[in-house]
Amino acid sequence: MQDLIYLDYNATTPTDPRVVEAMLPYFYDKPGNAASRTHPFGWIASEAVDQGRQQIADLIGAEAREIIFTSGATEADNLAIKGVFELYQRKGKHIITVQTEHKAVLDTTAYLEKIGAEVTYLSVDADGLIDPKELEAAIRPDTILVSVMWANNETGVIQPMAAIGEICTRKGVLLMSDATQAVGKMPVCPREAGVHIMAFSAHKMYGPKGIGALYVSYRQPRVKLATQIHGGGHEAGMRSGTLNVPAIVGFGKAAALAGAEMKNEAVRLAQLRDLLENRLTEQIEAVRINGSREHRLPHVSNLSFRYVEAEALISTFNRRIAVATGSACSSATLEPSHVLQSMGLTDDWLKGAIRFSFGRFSKESDAVVCVEAISKGIEALRAESPVWEMYKEGII
């Protein structure tokens, strides 16, 4: 593994050693169930959960009671969307979301359509941004929820959440956001932005896998959700199940570290991203950056190499550099990115799209080696490509 370079931080992040250290005592020395109220082991576990919940709330400017623990962002998305649909049906059955959302949102709304929901899917422009005016025009008297991803997992494009929140607040419609890629990477405050429900996950911010959270506004407005997992009534009755104490401790520690370090880290990672982009665009012909360059996360770059197959390119360096050709959660489908398709990319650009995502343990040498490998691979593939030859001769 020492010879490998990891540039797939949007898929998942390594767990920070400081997070692991905080978690370890809760696997053995402090093994209590946080719901056990009759002995010190349970009390210690409960206190640890309370601390983790507060640390996470502090990161996003929320109250501790507004944090509901889940198994991850996918479950949080499901709880939010299904929970609103079931509980607010008296008002209506109309939901608005965006074509470029994560599959955890799109598959959930597709399921709800089968049982009576009406869903409007907003388009995006070539930069991957929605038009707030289009959103406002789509809101109907029976609209109960708007769901907009804060920052896209494939392109890093950040949506204008404050403008979206203002519209939803004025129209009296609940606003939900999958903020999995944004939390811990940039300042995110749902209350300031007018977001009422927000999903995110620990493993995208150097915490453990298998633990996520849903922010649910407790005041102005107080949001209620229909329970999706029934049982002991944990998490304010919204999500039953024994709490994963070690993971919650790790989530809390990861949140605290992010709050302290992400500002400086964003500057460093943007420099690595820019180094990669500048050198690749200087050294290689027919390269494009996908998505807004002004409104995006600092550590993500989605690049298309024209008339090159991304999978073939990755194979040229024996997959020793970890990059992605789409979302990790839908990579098994081997279908072109629905995000890039929604942004209007044609096949000659679409097939050669690769996502590079840097992180806390990335070094400048990682970017340099990646540029060298990509450049060498592109040169080799295009040298043998009749399509590239036709392009160069102006035939296509």
**DSSP string across 110-145:** HHHHHTT-EEEEE---TTS---HHHHHHH--TTEEE
Distance CA 145, CA 25 (A): 41
- Local structure of 77: helix, strand or coil: helix
Q: Tell me which fold the domain 17-256 belongs to.
A: Aspartate Aminotransferase; domain 2 (3.40.640)
* Interior/surface letters 172-183, b for 16+ CB within 10 angstroms, e for the rest: ebbbbbbbbbbb
Per-residue model confidence (pLDDT) at position 19: 98
- Local structure of 297: helix, strand or coil: coil
Distance CA 130, CA 123 (A): 6
Q: At which residue do the structure tokens 């359509």 appear? A: 113
Distance CA 213, CA 363 (A): 30
- Dihedral Cα 134, 136, 142, 143, nearest 10 deg: 80
Q: At which residue do the structure tokens 């494939």 appear? A: 154
Is 189 part of the annotated catalytic residue set?
Answer: no
Per-residue model confidence (pLDDT) at position 302: 98
Residue 103 near residue 329, CB atoms below 8 Å: yes
Per-residue model confidence (pLDDT) at position 336: 87
Per-residue model confidence (pLDDT) at position 341: 97
Per-block mean pLDDT, blocks of 10 residues, the chain (396 long): 89 98 98 96 98 98 98 98 97 98 98 98 98 98 98 98 98 98 98 98 98 97 96 93 98 98 98 98 97 98 97 94 74 77 96 98 98 97 95 92
What letter represents residue 252's amino acid? G
Domain boundaries, the chain: 5-11+262-392, 17-256
Helix axes 103-114, 73-87, angle to 10 degrees: 30
Distance CA 95, CA 93 (A): 7
Q: At which residue do the structure tokens 């964003």 appear? A: 266
Strand-pairing partners, residue 98, are 122
Q: At which residue do the structure tokens 């090159």 appear? A: 308
DSSP characters over 345-358 = --HHHHTTEEEEE-
Contacts of 149 (CB under 8 A, 6+ apart): 98, 100, 101, 102, 105, 159, 177, 178, 179, 181
Q: At which residue do the structure tokens 């990059």 appear? A: 323
Q: Which two tokens stand for residue 79?
A: 């709880």
Residue 80 near residue 132, CB atoms below 8 Å: no
Per-residue model confidence (pLDDT) at position 3: 83
Distance CA 1, CA 6 (A): 10
Which residue is catalytic, options 168, 189, 329, 370? 329
Can you give the pTM of this predicted structure?
0.95
State the CATH architecture for 5-11+262-392: Alpha-Beta Complex (3.90)
Distance CA 201, CA 283 (A): 37
Contacts of 393 (CB under 8 A, 6+ apart): none
Cα of 389 vs its chain's centroid, Å = 38
Neighbours of 132 (CB within 10 A): 17
pLDDT in tens, 293-339: 999 999 999 999 999 999 999 999 988 999 999 644 544 556 789 99
Q: Phi and psi of 345, rounded to 5°?
A: -70, 135
Give CA separation, 142 vs 61, 88, 259, 328, 331, in Å: 30, 10, 38, 35, 35
Alpha helix stretches (DSSP H) within 207-300: 245-283
- Local structure of 175: helix, strand or coil: strand
